[in-house]
Structure 1
Amino acid sequence: MQYDQRLSGRRALLRLAAGLGATAAVHMIVADPARTPARTPAPSAAGAAGPGSTVRAAPTGYRLQPMTEGTPTRLRSGTPPVRTRPFEELPGIGRAMVLSFDDGPDPLYTPHILATLREHDVRAMFFVCGEMARDNQDLVRAIAEEGHTIGNHSWTHPLVTKLSRAGVRDELGATSEVIEKITGAAPLWYRAPYGAWNRNSFEIGAALGMEPMAWTVDTLDWTEPGVGTIVRRVREGAAPGVVVLSHDAGGDRSQSVDALRRYLPELLDDGYLVTVPQRR
């Protein structure tokens, strides 16, 4: 499909300029867990590690950068470091933002979100739950085939800090397995349900080859605050490098769908590049 035919000349120029700026500005992020970039303090790490040994890998050749065009390369990156806090924003990517959607895919709402992203030729992150992915495999394939990034959001959306180490491994491991079975590639990112992280989740996530991703702007769309409120929260929080949290499942997400249709073209008209991070 020729997406360019859908874009105005002005928007195309803005996005090209933003893309060039993002690509030029990205630099290697050294895998130092204590220096993971964050805009606000991350949730405290609750619980202690289990009896297993801590998994740590050298960060040689490890990179984090935005993907400005095309589809992600289906290659497993090197094992990331064990962090002590998740990424909450992505510095050094120029005038770019990341849109993310949790809890899906949902056959009622996810297709509408994909259609809006497709209309504007942008990519987003979808943090899927394993049981939803298993039950909606065609949607998972569609997300991947359209160039979006699929992340791990656990199997049943539990409070991770209440799980044993084996429980965390089961939730994350089973979800990574089903994503890889459906798409041919294991996820490189994961997000803890409720934003509740602990040492076990950081260590097991890293062992599975995934980086932890939180968010900068929470739309609180799951509370169904109204389309206008969701749009306002995104617009007021818009800034280079921010990660926006929304949902495409877990309840009535019609407001989230309608809000995206409003704020996405406005962000693009403001010169933002809406993209996803890519590890190499």
Structure 2
Amino acid sequence: MARHSGGRGWYGKVIGAAVGVTMLATGASVWTAQAGDADDASPEATAPAAPGGAAKPVSATIAHSSEAGKRGINITIDDGPDPKWTSQVLDLLREYDVKATFCMVGTQAQAHPDMVKKVVAAGHRLCDHTVSHNTGMDKDSQAYQSQQILDAERMITKASGGVRPMYYRAPGGAFTPYSRKLAASRGMRPLGWNVDTKDFERPGTDAIVATVERELSNGPTLLFHDAGGDRTQTVEALRRLLPRLKEQGHTFGFPVR
């Protein structure tokens, strides 16, 4: 598995150097726990419940299938919302009649509630991507993990007008058994990915498209970004990929909960 790299806490107060992280096994479509991951204490024993009560608990295993079936693809968009780039992504998704899952950073959702509401109004799903996008949070305490997940859930739910996130994606894939169980207890299925498009690194539109075409056999969930810098290449790659994938007989759906 290859975790994508991003800044440690680059949306929040924790600022540091970008770190490499590990997420997806080459050719594999199922998340496997990293060496050293232990079955931590039950999250219910240590984590406070968010206001409004918990949603129905879901599985704590990483979602890796598509409700759209064998030819299904899950488009996932991370790190927003961003007024400029999220709007452009939404326009493309509407043009090609594609639904996606938006993994939102809590501080971004809080800053741009209008964009969160537009995502929901267009029929897309929400995903909790923590408060500050700390890609090293798997090394932090359970109390810190709880704060990052639960506060982001509250921020996103408030920004959306009451629509709760259905998934939880750890920044950079920094899941722990504890964080997965905590998210699941709140009704948020842990969400990994099968194809890291590397769009975060801005390798060029051609490279992003080529990565998707080369690695799509790994599994249905594709990782893109709509914030964290200039996302022109992401938008252009989606403009090429969405119609092309449809022509190839793929359908688009949501990760199976």
* Amino acid in the other structure paired with 1:44: Q
Of 260-269 and 157-166, deviating more is 157-166
**Residue 89 of structure 1: CA displacement?**
3.6
Match of 1:129 among 88, 105, 108: 105
Residue 111 of structure 1, aligned match among 87, 90, 104: 87
- Matched residue SS, 1:154: coil
For 1:180, the equivalent position in structure 2 comes to 157
1:238 match: secondary structure: helix
Give, in whole Å, the separation in 2 of the partners of 1:226 and 1:92: 29
Equivalent residue letter for 2:238: L
User: What percentage of residue pairs aligned between the two structures are identical?
Assistant: 35
Superposition deviation, residue 120 in structure 1: 0.7
Determine helix, strand or coil for the equivalent of 2:255: strand
- What is the alpha-carbon root mean square deviation over aligned residues? 2.4
- Cα deviations across residues 105-137 of structure 1 (Å, max 9, x unaligned)? 111211111000000111011100000000011
| TM-score (norm. length: structure 1) | 0.72
In structure 2, runs of 5+ residues without a counterpart are: 1-27, 46-53
**What TM-score does the superposition give when structure 2 sets the normalisation length?**
0.78
In structure 1, distance between residues paired with 2:215 and 2:197: 9
* C-alpha distance in 2 between matches for 1:215 and 1:43: 14
Q: Would you say how many aligned residue pairs link Structure 1 and Structure 2?
A: 220
Letter in 2 for 1:166: A
The corresponding residue for 2:206 is 228
Q: State whether residues 65 and 255 of structure 2, in contact with CA within 8 Å, keep that contact through their aligned partners in structure 1.
A: no
State the structure with more CA Rg. Answer: 1
- The reply on whether 1:44 has 2:21 as its aligned counterpart is no
Q: Which residue does 1:22 correspond to in 2?
A: none
One-letter amino acid of the structure 2 residue matched with residue 113 of structure 1: V
Please say if residues 189 and 210 of structure 1, whose CA atoms lie closer than 8 Å, have aligned partners that are also in contact: yes
**Does structure 1 conserve the Cα–Cα contact (< 8 Å) formed by 2:194 and 2:218?**
no
1:241-270: CA deviation from partner (whole Å, max 9, x where unpaired): 510011111122111111100111101111
Q: Structure 1: which 5+ runs fail to align?
A: 1-37, 57-75
Q: Cα distance 1:118–1:230, how it changes in 2: closer, same or farther (>3 A)?
A: same
Residues 46-78 of structure 1 deviation map (CA, whole Å, 9 limit, x = unaligned): 56566x53559xxxxxxxxxxxxxxxxxxx862
| TM-fit CA distance, 1:82 | 3.4
| Matches for 1:1-280 after TM superposition, within 5 Å | 39-40=29-30, 42-44=32-34, 53=42, 78-83=56-61, 86-90=62-66, 93-158=69-134, 159-183=136-160, 184-239=162-217, 242-277=220-255, 279=257
